[in-house]
Amino acid sequence: GAGVSQSPRYKVAKRGQDVALRCDPISGHVSLFWYQQALGQGPEFLTYFQNEAQLDKSGLPSDRFFAERPEGSVSTLKIQRTQQEDSAVYLCASRPLQGMNTEAFFGQGTRLTVV
Amino acid sequence: DQQVKQNSPSLSVQEGRISILNCDYTNSMFDYFLWYKKYPAEGPTFLISISSIKDKNEDGRFTVFLNKSAKHLSLHIVPSQPGDSAVYFCAENYGGSQGNLIFGKGTKLSVKP
């Protein structure tokens, strides 16, 4: 497709369940970002990939969060033993170049609800 | 402490008038800023950007102004239209060549017909 695609759009998980969120970036985009957006807040940075290398994971809130991009294209954000505070919209974004002056393109997000 | 601050959570404007959305930042190292627009149940979409070599960037009805000494930027929409009703996020490019974006909390704009 032409844009960033995320799946599933909606996910309801029972507390303690593991979830996996998928992101298909725009083809050829080098940079890929994951953000977490809580209700009423702006997107909060989680982690960043340049091709397959995870260059920054400083925003991951706990060791229950894990992200990978093994072939430098599709990325998966995994959350283990989900907690209620993990409920949020998870946004993926990609950027064509490494440089500063380009915008990031966002997917529609995955809304995770932990019950 | 927040690096990017949008102090007005909401703004209501009459159709045809000017909308002014404000943003303050604290980090002076990185000087590329972006505005995103977000409709409910959709991801943010890029609207307009500005780098520090400029103090103004214009694209149709949208103009962004940058005041580096005050560490302040603003987005002007004129004339405002009902379809502009959305949440607007200011973002600062952070991380140099890595290009991570730090977002404000957003301002919800309502344009009334």
> Can you list the domains of chain A with their CATH numbers?
5-114 (2.60.40.10)
A53's CB contacts (< 8 A; 6+ apart) are none
Structure tokens at A112: 């995770």
Among A10-14, A78-82, B35-39, B67-71, the least confident range: B67-71
> CA of B6 to nearest chain A CA: how many angstroms apart?
10
One pLDDT digit (tens) per residue for chain A, 115 residues: 579 999 999 999 999 999 999 999 999 999 999 999 999 899 999 999 999 999 989 999 999 999 999 999 999 999 999 999 999 999 999 988 765 578 899 999 999 999 9
Please answer yes or no on whether B32 and A99 come within 8 Å at the CB atom: no
> CA of A16 to nearest chain B CA: how many angstroms apart?
26
B41's CB contacts (< 8 A; 6+ apart) are A108
Q: What is the C-alpha to C-alpha distance for residues B51 and B45, in angstroms, rounded to an integer? A: 18
Please answer yes or no on whether A99 and B97 come within 8 Å at the CB atom: yes
- Which of A32, A36, A100, A111 is the best mutation test for B, with the most CBs of B within 10 A? A100
Class of domain B4-112: mainly beta
Q: What would the 3-class secondary structure string for B60-95 be?
A: CCEEEEEECCCCEEEEEECCCCHHHCEEEEEEEEEC
SS3 category, A44: strand
